[in-house]
Amino acid sequence: MRIVIAGAGEVGTHLAKMLSNEQHDIVIIDPEESRLKPVDSTLDVMTVQGSATSVDLLKETLGKKTDLFIAVAHLEDTNITASILAKRLGAVKTIARIDNREYLEPSTKEFFKSLGVDSIIYPELIAAREVLGLLHETGTTEFMEFSGGRLALYVQKLGKDAPVVNKKLRDVTIELKSSKYRAVAIKRDEETIIPRGDDVFKEGDLVFVVSTREGIKEMMKFSGKENFIAKRIMILGGSRIGKRVAQSLQKECFIKLIDIDPAKCEILADELENTLVIHGDGRDANLLMQEGIAQKDVFVALTGNSETNILACLLATKLGVKKTIAEVENMEYINLAENSGIDTIINKKLSAASRIFRHTTNPNVTQVKCMTGTDAEVLEYKVPEGAKVVKGKLREIHFPKGAIIGGGTRDGKPFIATGDTHIKANDKVVVFTLPYALEKMSKFFL
């Protein structure tokens, strides 16, 4: 597939990195040479310096056939204009990143489609939905549902008192005797591994677990965690994400929202009737204590500044809040934030990249998510007739190292995969894969 990406920011660069693992023909356009140089030096892609709204540049770059044009530049206007031009100049499909929720209205989406913008991505809305999901699944650091919630991926951070710490995966499997969940990966420091029987769980590990709905409580015991009902929530930052989270929860939860901008606080107070809006600095320990941080279930930091969000969450943890969620948009800070004690990190750029990535993969992919803080991806496939994955039991078909099937659904019923599982056509299966195995793994579902 030939793919042209307009914008060499963090979304465009991350997409190019993901897509280069699948041997696509990739071109990145950006007006700034300083953003293209790191891409040139680290990725096997072609770079073009210039404006993505230049007709002459697009004619030359799109060439005879471009299967997908992705506009993820900083400015929304650039993305929309570039997508319209690319479509008129022959791109088969176009995707534009936007910053305006009005554009998601069905009639407006149809209007853009008539102009040549096939799909639009709104990162703030995707991130807000992730936060809402995490506020309902408070015992996990990252969460994704499959097949209408019949199966889900949970990410559990192991504390020193977790029952499985210092035990081998093989021994834990024998001890727990569960067919309702399966550990599919471990992230330790900077490394993500697909665990084998002799691998030992250690304190501080992030463990990726696929579980059925019935196995959630039992799975939580695995890490010593438990879900709790989040009713008292403090939000730092009246950003579009913070505002949407408050709007969604204010009728069922007690919400306090803090913002440092007095003018923004006045606007938010008018728009959020059931949310207590407070003007102040969320890094101020005295303010947080006055507002009862120790009695709050969850503290969510959603300002536009990664450093502020990290520091505020660390302070909230010290002052007694049960769970912290921080928006960290600086990719270099993600591992630092995870290792500092913050429960959950969200990154709207990674979330947007996941949504766009789905348009470039195997046509049998129904869902995909790039995991925060790691290059790994989780994909859900609908298994076609005659696919290589149905040729025998999983232990017999030489499924690629670096990838693992965690489970799936068959006729609407969930199952957890083992070496003796025989995948069948029309099953939906959840696969965890590292980048180097992605291309080989994908061929099992063609």
| 125-157 pLDDT per residue, tens | 889 999 998 898 887 788 888 888 889 898 888
Are residues 312 and 367 both part of a single domain? no
pLDDT in tens, 290-325: 999 999 999 999 998 999 999 999 999 999 999 999
Say which residue, 57 or 173, is predicted with more confidence: 57
Question: Which residue blocks in 195-283 are alpha helix, DSSP H?
Answer: 216-223, 240-249, 262-271
- Cα separations in angstroms, 25 against 1, 62, 79: 6, 11, 21
The phi and psi torsions of 282 (rounded to 5 degrees) equal -70, -5
Mean pLDDT of the chain, nearest integer? 90
Structural element, H or E, at residue 53:
none
Are residues 12 and 115 both part of a single domain? yes
pLDDT in tens, 158-168: 888 888 899 88
Q: Helices 348-357 & 10-20, crossing angle to 10 degrees?
A: 40
The contacts of residue 410 (CB under 8 Å, 6+ apart) are: 424, 426, 427
> What percent of the chain has a predicted confidence (pLDDT) above 90?
55
Are residues 25 and 110 both part of a single domain? yes
Please spell the DSSP secondary structure of 130-183, one letter per residue: HHHHHHHSTT-SEEEEEGGGTEEEEEEE--TT-TTTT-BHHHHHHHH--SSEEE
Q: Which SS3 state, helix, strand or coil, does residue 422 take?
A: strand
Contact yes or no for 430/406 (Cβ under 8 A): yes
Residue 60 lies in a domain: yes
Arithmetic mean of pLDDT, 52-79: 93
- Count of beta carbons in the 10 Å neighbourhood of residue 23: 11
Q: How confident is the model at residue 175 (pLDDT cuts 50, 70, 90)?
A: confident
* pLDDT on residue 298: 95
Q: How confident is the model at residue 179 (pLDDT cuts 50, 70, 90)?
A: confident
Q: Which of 228, 277, 227 is nearest to 250 (CA)?
A: 277
* pLDDT on residue 147: 84
* pLDDT on residue 407: 93
Query: CA–CA separation, 307 vs 303, rounded Å?
Result: 9
Residue 127 lies in a domain: no
Q: Which of 19, 337, 376 is nearest to 192 (CA)?
A: 376
Residue 249 lies in a domain: yes
Are residues 280 and 374 both part of a single domain? no
Residue 362 lies in a domain: yes
* pLDDT on residue 290: 93
> What percent of the chain has a predicted confidence (pLDDT) above 70?
99
Sign of the torsion formed by the C-alpha atoms of 326, 329, 333 and 335: positive
Question: Which DSSP category does 277 fall into?
Answer: E
Q: How confident is the model at residue 101 (pLDDT cuts 50, 70, 90)?
A: confident
Structural element, H or E, at residue 41:
helix 33-42
Joined together, the tokens standing for residue 173 give 């499997």
Residue 162 lies in a domain: no
pLDDT > 80? residue 224:
no
* pLDDT on residue 3: 93
pLDDT > 90? residue 19:
no
pLDDT > 80? residue 225:
no
- The dihedral formed by the CA atoms of 299, 132, 112 and 3, expressed in degrees to the nearest 10: 80
pLDDT in tens, 23-63: 788 999 999 999 999 998 888 899 999 999 999 999 999 98
* pLDDT on residue 340: 84
Query: CA–CA separation, 212 vs 179, rounded Å?
Result: 9
* pLDDT on residue 332: 83
Going through 283-412 in order, the beta strands assigned E by DSSP cover 298-301, 323-327, 344-346, 365-370, 377-382, 403-410
Domain containing residue 15: CATH number:
3.40.50.720
Are residues 298 and 401 both part of a single domain? no
Domain of 13 in residue numbering reads as 2-121
* pLDDT on residue 15: 86
Look-up of token digits 């948009």: 329
Are residues 384 and 425 both part of a single domain? yes
Q: Residue type for 67, please?
A: D
* pLDDT on residue 143: 82
> How many domains does the chain contain in total?
3
